[in-house]
């Protein structure tokens, strides 16, 4: 039957609406890499950006190195990056805090050459005319392998008895006696030599 291949006509106005309404999210948010250039790590795409409506209280941050349960492990003198990835309308003012004190503004917070003074908890606050959003706190900590320096186990001092100083093996005792005898003979010979020189004068 030809009716099986017959296509129903679509009005021009409806066809225009359908062509502009399919998958608007995919057209508006193409995947883009947000990993810092030159830094190792798994690239993140815009499809991984958290939605503010899903978690209105705390917003996850994109971090390098990647955080684990709210903790970033890093070594000293390495870089740490924190980034706010949620889009707000109107555009928000972004501010960062470190242990409750202001430490920067903008979409990204770069910590170059991490020092012990920069270990602590960071978070981002986004404010616009409509609302205020706060990120999940992220704690920057030293890697477990390079954390607190290990304290060497104390050495135990055992008291020595007077007899321990005299407990020398037979071979060692003979060597000491021979060395002492030779030393004494050399000393006596030197004294006699100087006495003879003095008598000749």
Long-range contact list for 112-121, CB < 8 A, 24+ apart?
A: 112/79, 113/77, 113/78, 113/79, 114/74, 114/75, 114/76, 114/77, 114/78, 114/79, 114/80, 114/140, 115/76, 115/77, 116/76, 118/80
Whole-model pTM: value is 0.47
- Contact, 126 vs 86, CB < 8 A? yes
Residue 33 to residue 45: CA distance in whole angstroms: 5
Query: Is residue 84 a contact partner of residue 52, using CB atoms and an 8 Å limit?
Result: no
Residue length of the chain: 201
The CATH homologous superfamily to which domain 32-146 belongs is: Immunoglobulins (2.60.40.10)
pLDDT tens by residue, the chain, 201 residues: 444 454 444 444 434 443 333 333 333 333 333 333 333 433 333 334 444 444 458 999 999 999 999 999 999 999 999 999 999 999 999 999 999 999 999 999 999 999 999 999 999 999 999 999 999 999 999 988 765 555 555 544 445 555 554 555 566 668 778 788 888 888 888 888 778 777 776
Residue 72 is encoded by which pair of tokens? 């970033």
């Amino acid at each position: 039957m030809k009716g099986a291949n017959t296509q129903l006509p679509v009005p021009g106005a409806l066809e225009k609406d359908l062509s502009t309404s399919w998958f608007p999210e995919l057209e508006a948010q193409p995947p883009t890499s947000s990993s810092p250039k030159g830094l190792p790590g798994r690239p993140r795409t815009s499809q991984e950006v958290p939605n503010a409506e899903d978690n209105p209280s705390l917003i996850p941050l994109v971090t390098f190195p990647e955080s684990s349960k709210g903790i970033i492990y890093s070594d000293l003198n390495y870089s740490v990056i924190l980034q706010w990835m949620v889009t707000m309308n109107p555009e928000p003012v972004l501010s960062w805090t470190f242990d409750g004190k202001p430490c920067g503004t903008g979409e990204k917070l770069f910590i170059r050459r991490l020092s012990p003074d920069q270990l602590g908890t960071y978070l981002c606050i986004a404010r616009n005319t409509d609302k205020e959003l706060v990120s999940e706190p992220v704690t920057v900590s030293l890697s477990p392998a390079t954390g607190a320096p290990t304290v060497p186990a104390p050495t135990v001092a055992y008291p020595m008895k007077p007899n321990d100083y005299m407990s020398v093996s037979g071979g060692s005792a003979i060597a000491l006696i021979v060395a002492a005898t030779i030393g004494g003979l050399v000393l006596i010979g030197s004294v006699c030599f100087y006495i003879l020189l003095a008598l000749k004068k």
